[in-house]
Chain A
Amino acid sequence: MKNTLARLPLVKALQSLSKTSAPGTKFLYGVMAGICLFLFTLPWVPRTQDAMVAKFHLRSASFFQWAALQLIPSMYNFGNEIWISYQPLTAAVLEGKEPLSGGAFHGWVNHHPLRLISFSVHRKNFSTGTYYVYLRSGYRGRNFYSTFILKGNPQGLRLERLP
């Protein structure tokens, strides 16, 4: 058993850490271990979930906090939905209890649900008028909502988060 463990690449590498003097090696293992520990807490620690949703919804307490979280890998995380409407939508619509009125858009998105606006060659579609943008991210029974107003004008688009 001990021999089998010793043959595992990571175990072998960690055992030989003292033998290498390559700068940064221990630091790299340490940083990756820290990020993995953080990720392991995701399903069980609400604060980790809150932090990740704040990242996806661009609403972290500060840009620096978001910038740090942004480097934590999170491809295709959470169940994310986006609604874009000319009029404010009710909670019943967002929860699927009432149908979506005509003209409003609803879609599922992999991660970073605002990407339909912020990362799209179709931004010009929003260049006139005011839109209400709603995000829902679901994770293990918890639902997280954010609301934005998107104002379009010929000079560009302006996004504001509503409390």
Chain B
Amino acid sequence: MKSRENPSLLNIKVFRLAAAFWLAGWYCKITFYYEYLWSTAVRYPLEYSFFPFVLQDAAISQTVYLLPVAALIIFMTEDPRAYLSASVVMLVSSLLMSWHMNTHNDATFVVSFWVAVWLFWLAANLKRAEAEFKLHIVVLAQCLCAMIFLGGFMGKLTPEYWHGDVFYHTHIIENNLWWAARLKQTFNAEQLQGVAMVFSRAVIGMEGLLVLSPFLPSRFVCRFAPLCFSLIMFTNTWRIFSVLGCLMGMLLACLLLENSKKNA
């Protein structure tokens, strides 16, 4: 079937799909953030002079957390200016949250920042329809995915991860999820160390494969990576969707683009 879509409408669809996942990831931990930013951070503010005053203020983190709601406008209009504005809001919000005392720990915001950079670039070029531009939409997304996981991969090239010590403690011993509890019931400490080592090496291997994303066929990456993310969510917690959701959406949006190219 031949595609009859206006090319800029296709870009809009790509943007909307990626932004929908971005927003879903941003707000999927809203119950935690409601308690943390509107109660804990207000009643027990943490002061550390390393951070500028404004980036320690609870009100700033609350406001910035809510800002991306404004990006919902893209689902009501096809005006390119709305897409550009929405991407700027997403970019600035994720940047400020990455730098704020209260929220810098959450990898959600750094990953969201990079996907927002990609969205901003897409919004700035929303009317383009040439084949080269479509190629860059997808390859830039693949590069971004590779860069994010290169950060994780290189930081794990250390005995603490290779032998599974970190995951043994963070994912098994100090973890109360059902599968960790089941493991602890089934295996002794030495066996659990072995399980952690296998798990840790599997994670390093998976991240290594994702680092190769720009060199693998685009359609494969756009399917394989979201599958990997789902696996990571299953073996960790659904809450990690806050970090991976935006990447998943970006790659699924690229898959939509790839499929449209195939049908054209």
With A32-B147, A70-B99: A77-B169 Cβ-Cβ less than 8 Å:
no
Contact residues of A: prevailing secondary structure: mixed
CB pair B52 A117 closer than 8 Å: no
Q: Known: A28-B121, A43-B157. Is A119-B106 also a contact (CB below 8 A)?
A: yes
| Residues in A neighbouring B121, C-beta threshold 8 A | 22, 24-25, 28
* Residues in B whose Cβ lies below 8 Å from that of A58: 48, 50
Chain B, range 68-116, C-beta contacts under 8 Å to A? 95, 98-99, 101-107, 110-111, 113-114
> Given known contacts A9-B138, A75-B107, A121-B32, is B50 in contact with A67 (CB within 8 Å)?
no
Q: Which of A23, A42, A73 contacts B147 (CB 8 A)?
A: A73
A74 touches B43 (CB 8 A): no
Q: A24-B121, A73-B110 are in contact. Are A123 and B40 (CB under 8 A)?
A: yes
* In the complex, B216 has a CB within 8 A of chain A: yes
A71 at interface by CB-CB < 8 Å: yes
Closest to B218 in A: A9
Chain A proximity mask over B153-165: 1 for CB below 8 Å, otherwise 0: 0111111110001
Q: Which residue of B lies closest to A40 (CB)?
A: B154
A16 contacts B157, CB within 8 Å?
A: no
Which residues of B sit under 8 angstroms from A158, Cβ to Cβ?
46-48
State in angstroms the CA–CA spacing of A28 and B41 once bound together: 36
Interface string of A81-124 (1 = CB under 8 A from B): 00000000000000000000000000111111011011111011
Query: Which residues of B (161-204) have their CB < 8 Å from a CB of A?
Result: 161, 165-166, 169-170, 174, 203
Whether A51 sits at the interface, judged by CB under 8 Å, is: no
Q: Is A20 on the interface with B (CB-CB < 8 A)?
A: yes
Stretch binding the partner chain, chosen from B2-10, B20-28, B122-130, B223-231:
B122-130
